[in-house]
Amino acid sequence: MSVNRLTLGCMVLAVVAALPAQGQFEIASKDGKSSIKFGLLTQPQGEWIDTADGEGTTQNLFVRRMRILMGGKIGDKLSFFVETDSPNLGKADATGKKNDGTIFMQDIIVTYAFSPKIMIDSGLLLTPNSHNSEQGATTLLPVDYGPYSFLHSGPTGSRVGRDYGVQARGYLASNHFEYRLGVFQGAREADSRNALRTIGRVVYYPFEAETGFFYSGTNFGKKKILAIGASYDRQEDYQAPAFDVYFDWPVGKNAVTLQADVIKYDGGTTLTTLPEQTATLFEASYYFSALKLGPFVQVANRNYKADATADETVSQVGLAYWHSNHNFNVKLGWAKLEKDRAPDRNQLVLQCQLFFF
């Protein structure tokens, strides 16, 4: 019955997504120089995962993300984006209590663009630690982000990879080079006397560039992107250098997408809850345009420097049905969760996404 209800919900969303598009819900000034638009993201999800002792299966039907989006512009240079979230709505915890849902601010981005070469972002920003950790949740390639792409979030006092701050961002040499340089709150001590957090990122694009605030997960063969990036995150004794490659390329009417990220975390004496470790991510997919199908694979690893700490690996294979690309899709993924000196666990996830903005 539970699976049937989730399937029925997906069918309803498919019908909604198939309705004729009426355009964005947008309000504009008479001169067209200022506007505001609204959007919605919802991801109903079913999850079946082995318990930690391997003796049972945890089963949940819930809403992975429920977001209300708002964005717009004021004149030619000033733009804004605001987003709320209520994650894992209805998901039960270890005691069986379902999450009643708490709505909070997920993103607050105010951007002033002097030119494409110099833009200033301020607010509650997704920090540029890697390609995957700077992607928008609406354009992910597999079911979700890499499980270790936001290990910095909790220790730095961030909110789901977001931190309060300001950054300069721009695109140079005919958009072949991107830079992001920001100052953020980071972890705060008593009286907030400690140093702020700084993050720098550079990306080289030999072909087309991604020039939005959020990176994409796949473009369905509509762009030719090779992005070679490096980031460095630091606050006092904490540091997290990273390197990543993203490849998204048309193959006839089809497309291939690849991504590889490596982040070396070392909390040092500043973030003692973040021991020295290396987090890696690899994901790939091939999109069959005629069928609107995209089989995918995602492999993530968490390797600690200390031998006494158990390393972890999560390997997932799945299939995405891109009914209306990122506006409506259904993803089915099966994963194997491995941890040293612990039983292997299996996870099955079925997720629908409805998004418009």
**pLDDT score, position 22:** 47
Which position has the higher pLDDT, 23 or 107? 107
Give the tens place of pLDDT for each residue, 48-89.
Answer: 999 988 889 999 999 999 999 999 999 999 999 999 999 999
Say how far apart CA 349 and CA 357 lie, in whole Å.
Answer: 25
* Ordered domains of the chain (ranges, CATH): 63-93+102-311 (2.40.160.10)
Say how far apart CA 348 and CA 337 lie, in whole Å.
Answer: 11
Rounded to 5 degrees, φ, ψ at 326 are -85, -10
Spatial contact of 235 and 198, defined as CB atoms under 8 Å apart: yes
**pLDDT score, position 52:** 87
Range in 87-91, 92-96, 201-205 the model is least confident about:
92-96
Where does the pLDDT of residue 26 fall: very low under 50, low under 70, confident under 90, or very high at 90 and above?
Answer: confident
Say how far apart CA 355 and CA 332 lie, in whole Å.
Answer: 18
Helix (H, G, I), strand (E, B) or coil at 324: coil
Spatial contact of 335 and 315, defined as CB atoms under 8 Å apart: yes
Where does the pLDDT of residue 20 fall: very low under 50, low under 70, confident under 90, or very high at 90 and above?
Answer: very low
Say how far apart CA 83 and CA 211 lie, in whole Å.
Answer: 20
pTM more than 0.95: no
Where does the pLDDT of residue 1 fall: very low under 50, low under 70, confident under 90, or very high at 90 and above?
Answer: very low
Say how far apart CA 308 and CA 277 lie, in whole Å.
Answer: 12
Q: Above 60 in pLDDT, residue 9?
A: no
**pLDDT score, position 169:** 98
Q: Above 50 in pLDDT, residue 323?
A: yes
Say how far apart CA 88 and CA 316 lie, in whole Å.
Answer: 20
Helix (H, G, I), strand (E, B) or coil at 272: coil
